[in-house]
Amino acid sequence: MTTGGPNGRHTITVIEEMIMLYPQTNPFRQAIDLSGFWEFAFDPADEGERAGWPGGFAGRPIAVPASWNDQFDNGRDDLGPAWYQARFDLPAGMDPGRQRLRLRFGSVNYLADAWLNGVHIGRHEGGHLPFEFDVTPHLRREGNLLVVRVEGDMAPDRVPPGRVPPDPQHIFMDQTNKLPLAS
């Protein structure tokens, strides 16, 4: 900000900075960060869904968020499909009976299908953009299984894959009131 311009007038210069806000846990909102080690499996024949993988599969550990291309030598040039899964429990303050609970992904490249406890909760197309699904009716207090199928094939209308930035988007779940506020 600059003050004391010509003729006693004030000049204000605003410097804009892009700030991404993530849900913060406070007395009115809880968030669970689901980042960490998940289970992962390549599906080169694209048979996972027919084989029942939305209900769980045998996988190997992978760090999330991150690209499988950077974590596995045999996956360096693989574009999928591939599957991720994570298990989690709800903390004491989260209650699907009283709150709306959303699962938010910071970024998945390029096509993502997600299942929670064996139920397909949604599909998103478009790499590098956040998206979310309302998971309220599908959550359990304990023993939740989140499964995500990712397809990153190159196509003329898709952004090509690349390295994950130093501060990648996270995957988390948060809660809000069941009734949305309106002005």
Domain count across the chain: 1
Cβ neighbours around 96 below 10 Å, total: 17
In this prediction, residue 12 carries a pLDDT of 42
22 lies in some domain: no
Task: Give the range of the structural domain holding residue 123, as residue numbers without chain letter.
Answer: 31-177
pLDDT tens for each residue of 93-116? 888 888 889 999 988 888 999 999
Does residue 17 lie within any of the structural domains? no
Q: Convert the pLDDT of each residue in 16-25 to its tens digit.
A: 444 445 556 6
Q: How confident is the model at residue 68 (pLDDT cuts 50, 70, 90)?
A: confident
In the predicted model, what is the mean pLDDT of the chain? 79
Q: What is the pTM of this model?
A: 0.73
For residue 158, the model assigns a pLDDT of: 63
* Rounded-to-5 percentages of helix, strand, coil across the chain: 10, 35, 55
